[in-house]
Structure 1
Amino acid sequence: MTVGGCMGAYAAVQALRGDAAEARATLAAALERNRATWTAFMRWVALTQVWVAAASGALERAVELALSAASGCRAAGLHAFESVALHDAVRLGAPHSAVGRLEELVALVDGPRVRLAARHAEALAGEDAGELLGTATAFDALGMRLHAAETAAQAAALLRRTKGEKAARAAATEAWSLAGACQGPDTPALRGLAAPNLTSRELEVAKLTAAGLTHREIADRLGIALRTAMNHRNQAYWKLGVNSPAELARALTRQAPA
């Protein structure tokens, strides 16, 4: 990859972190360095422009750019690029514009990514929160944690409208946990996703519970009453929407070191 290509990739990272101005400047510099462009670079430029628009708050424009990029890739027979562009539209909350074509692309593009993109689109279009969470788990298994976090956040938003606060908290915790393993993402699906409002003591107790300590061991280690340790653990469970030490560990151990 040339210097310009590396700069283009960096612009995409800046956009995904929500820094529209810096991403726009870096992308312009990348284009300047690559006046003699090649096809793949220009496709990635188009995809980066999607996320620059999203970082700027122009969500409808970002979806338009994603669909335009997909159309151009389809015309050129670049099905893998097309599937990525269509999935960007899904990630931006516009699954109905992409679901049908993504299902067609499953037969044309080899590999799990396009299958998960189609599954994501179908689940979001059908407002199936359980399937969204299952898709998030599948993205995570592929190492695509940003995609997993966004999908879980979309599930949380849906659950908040349909199933109540506890189910939404659990999904939001999953999204927060997945996003915490990334490097400061700030995409539309994750925007407004707050860390669970644990006190420092609740977090301390939660981490010890996740590590397998009993209530008595936690109380003795922290020099607090047994009942206090239990109350802190119960508050952590409630705020995180989890029900067991294993679920606590899953939520907390993904977080990147400070």
Structure 2
Amino acid sequence: MTYQGVLTKMTTELASPIQYYLVFENDFLNMNQLLNNNITLEFVKYQCLNCGLDKPIFRQGFDRQCFYDTAKAGDWIMRPELSTAHLGKEDRDLEYEKKAQLQPHIVYLANSSNVKVGVTRKSQVPTRWIDQGAHEAIEIVEVPNRYLAGITEVALKGHVADKTNWRKMLKNDIEDENLAEWRDRLSQYIPKEAVDYYIGNNKETHLEFPVNKYPEKPKSLNIIKSQRYSGKLVGIKGQYLIFEDQTVFNIRANEGLVVNISVN
């Protein structure tokens, strides 16, 4: 059976284990059902997630021009502290930015390769944690806009990591941490603008990923360079497909590529 479509990040469903779905325009695949099957990936062309044209993808699924034009790729997305919609100031499209920024946001601690701080819209909990491959996470503040979440993250990342080591995460080279204790220790660094939004009585969320075998030395697949790859799917974690030969393929990093997926 062969499916063709443009890659976007996998949709997830919180379960034990987490359920993953690859959604195309006319098809969708429950990726969990493909575990222990041989899969072939073939690069077909590009399809920018903004304009839909066959132009090389630059970042985040967009071609270069769209990346610098679309409101969906503003600097405030990667750096929430740069959000300005709460001031009525436009970056690229004020109406879009109001919808995205002026809603409840969570600052959280997650343990994927190590304990890290991050920001997400409240509506994206626990999706954001799943996408990062975190096996445990906890909220630390819930604020009414993205700016307050951003300045809180900036304050906390002086005392805890804000990046995930993807290789360590995929190898499952991790230790359980008491995130409630981490939250309590870090609470003193919350900026005064956000201190009233501190969440001090919640519990960790634990996540179970559908992985039969973790790679010891994960090697990243560049499907544009190789054009075609076949392998036995043995796990899914974060937004990565994990294959038996220790090849890993990051769906999120390849958004905007049209591929054929054959299940053997």
Q: Under a length normalisation based on structure 1, what TM-score does the superposition of the two structures give?
A: 0.30
Q: Relative to total residues, which structure has the larger helix share, 1 or 2?
A: 1
Higher RCO by CA contacts (8 Å cutoff, separation 6 or greater): 2
Q: Under a length normalisation based on structure 2, what TM-score does the superposition of the two structures give?
A: 0.29
- Which has more radius of gyration? 1
